[in-house]
Structure 1
Amino acid sequence: MEAEIWCLPEVKIGNHGLRKRVLHKGNSWKTPFPGDEVEVRYTLRLKDGEFFDSSHDKGTPFKFRLGQGEVIRGWDEGIATMKKGERAIFTVPPEMAYGEIGSPPTVPPNATLIFDIEMVSWYSIRDITGDGGILKKIMREGEGWATPKDADEVLVKYVASTEDGIIVSKSDEELEFSLTDGYLCPAMSKAVKTMRKGEKAELSVKFSYCSRYPGDAHCNNDITATNSKLTIDLELLSWKNVIDVMGDKKILKKVIKMGDGFDRPTEGSLAKVIYIGRKDDGTIFECKGTPEEPFEYICLEEQINEGLDRAVMTMRKGEQATVKVSSEFLHGTENGKWPPTASVLYEIMLINFAKEKSFWKMDTQEKLEACQSKKSDGNALFKAGRFELASKKYEKASKYIEFDHSFNDDEKSLASSLLSSCSLNNAACKLKLGKYFEASRLCTKVLEVDPCCVKALFRRSQSYLRTSDLEKAEADIKRALAIDPNNREVRLVYQELKDKKRQYFRQEAEIFTNMLSSMG
Structure 2
Amino acid sequence: MGYFCPALSKAVKTMKKGEKVLLTVKPQYGFGEQGRPASEVEAAVPPNSTLHIDLELVSWKTITLIGDDKRILKKVLKEGEGYERPNDGAVVRVRLIGKLDDGTVFTKKGHEGDEPFEFKTDEEQVIEGLDTTVLTMKKGEVASARIPPEHAFGSTETKLDIAMVPPNSTVFYEVDLVSFEKEKESWDLKSNAENIEAAAKKKDEGNAWFKMGKYAKASKRYEKAAKYIEYDSSFSEDEKKQSKAVKISIKLNNAACKLKLKDYKEAEKLCAKVLELESTNVKALYRRAQAYTELVDLELAELDIKKALEIDPDNREVKVAYKALKDKLREYNKRDAKFYGNMFAKWRKTENAAGKQNAQPMAIDSTA
TM normalised by structure 2 equals 0.80
- The verdict on how the C-alpha distance between 1:459 and 1:227 changes in structure 2, with shifts beyond 3 A counting, is same
1:242/1:252 contact within 8 Å kept: no
Aligned residue in 2 for 1:515: 343
Deviations 1:401-447 (A, max 9, x none): 12122222222111100000000000000000001111011111111
Aligned residue in 2 for 1:308: 130
Shift of 1:209: 1.8
- The verdict on how the C-alpha distance between 1:197 and 1:456 changes in structure 2, with shifts beyond 3 A counting, is closer
Shift of 1:506: 2.0
Q: Which amino acid aligns with 1:349?
A: D
> Is there any run of 5+ residues in structure 2 with no aligned partner, and where?
158-165, 350-368
- Structure with the larger strand share: 1
1:451 aligns with 2:279: yes
User: Partners in 2 of 1:262 and 1:478 — Cα distance?
Assistant: 54
Aligned residue in 1 for 2:298: 470
- The verdict on how the C-alpha distance between 1:194 and 1:509 changes in structure 2, with shifts beyond 3 A counting, is closer
| Aligned counterparts, 1:260-275, within 5 A | 260-275=81-96
Match of 2:61 among 234, 241, 246: 241
Match of 1:206 among 26, 29, 43: 26
User: Partners in 2 of 1:333 and 1:360 — Cα distance?
Assistant: 42
Aligned residue in 2 for 1:320: 142
- The verdict on how the C-alpha distance between 1:222 and 1:328 changes in structure 2, with shifts beyond 3 A counting, is farther
- The verdict on how the C-alpha distance between 1:217 and 1:191 changes in structure 2, with shifts beyond 3 A counting, is farther
Deviations 1:446-502 (A, max 9, x none): 111211111111101101111111111111111111111111111111111011012
Match of 1:188 among 1, 5, 8: 8
User: Partners in 1 of 2:267 and 2:70 — Cα distance?
Assistant: 34
| Aligned counterparts, 1:62-461, within 5 A | 182-211=2-31, 220-223=42-45, 225-236=46-57, 238-244=58-64, 246=66, 250-289=71-110, 292-325=114-147, 329-330=151-152, 332=154, 335=157, 338=168, 343-362=170-189, 363-461=191-289
- The verdict on how the C-alpha distance between 1:476 and 1:273 changes in structure 2, with shifts beyond 3 A counting, is same
- The verdict on how the C-alpha distance between 1:468 and 1:191 changes in structure 2, with shifts beyond 3 A counting, is closer
Aligned residue in 2 for 1:65: none
2:210/2:257 contact within 8 Å kept: yes
2:66/2:74 contact within 8 Å kept: no
1:183/1:189 contact within 8 Å kept: no
User: Partners in 2 of 1:433 and 1:218 — Cα distance?
Assistant: 60
Deviations 1:197-247 (A, max 9, x none): 455443322211223999x96764443x411222333344x2243142549
Aligned-residue Cα RMSD (Å) equals 3.0
Question: Matched residue of 1:448: which SS?
Answer: helix
Q: Which amino acid aligns with 1:191?
A: A
1:184/1:219 contact within 8 Å kept: no
How many matched pairs?
Answer: 334
Shift of 1:284: 3.4
- The verdict on how the C-alpha distance between 1:410 and 1:511 changes in structure 2, with shifts beyond 3 A counting, is same
Q: Which amino acid aligns with 1:278?
A: K
Q: Which amino acid aligns with 1:297?
A: F
Q: Which amino acid aligns with 2:254?
A: N
- Structure with the larger helix share: 2
Aligned residue in 1 for 2:355: none
User: Partners in 2 of 1:331 and 1:473 — Cα distance?
Assistant: 42
> Comparing both chains, which one has the higher relative contact order based on Cα–Cα distances under 8 Å and sequence gaps of 6 or more?
2
User: Partners in 2 of 1:249 and 1:505 — Cα distance?
Assistant: 45
User: Partners in 2 of 1:512 and 1:254 — Cα distance?
Assistant: 61
User: Partners in 2 of 1:349 and 1:486 — Cα distance?
Assistant: 59
- The verdict on how the C-alpha distance between 1:183 and 1:277 changes in structure 2, with shifts beyond 3 A counting, is farther
Identity %: 49
Shift of 1:279: 3.0
User: Partners in 2 of 1:183 and 1:245 — Cα distance?
Assistant: 24
**Which range moves more in the overlay, 201-210 or 189-198?**
189-198
Shift of 1:190: 2.9
Question: Matched residue of 2:213: which SS?
Answer: coil
2:185/2:228 contact within 8 Å kept: no
Deviations 1:52-111 (A, max 9, x none): xxxxxxxxxxxxxxxxxxxxxxxxxxxxxxxxxxxxxxxxxxxxxxxxxxxxxxxxxxxx
Question: Matched residue of 1:239: which SS?
Answer: coil
Instruction: Please identify the structure whose Cα radius of gyration is greater.
Output: 1
Question: Matched residue of 2:246: which SS?
Answer: helix
TM normalised by structure 1 equals 0.58
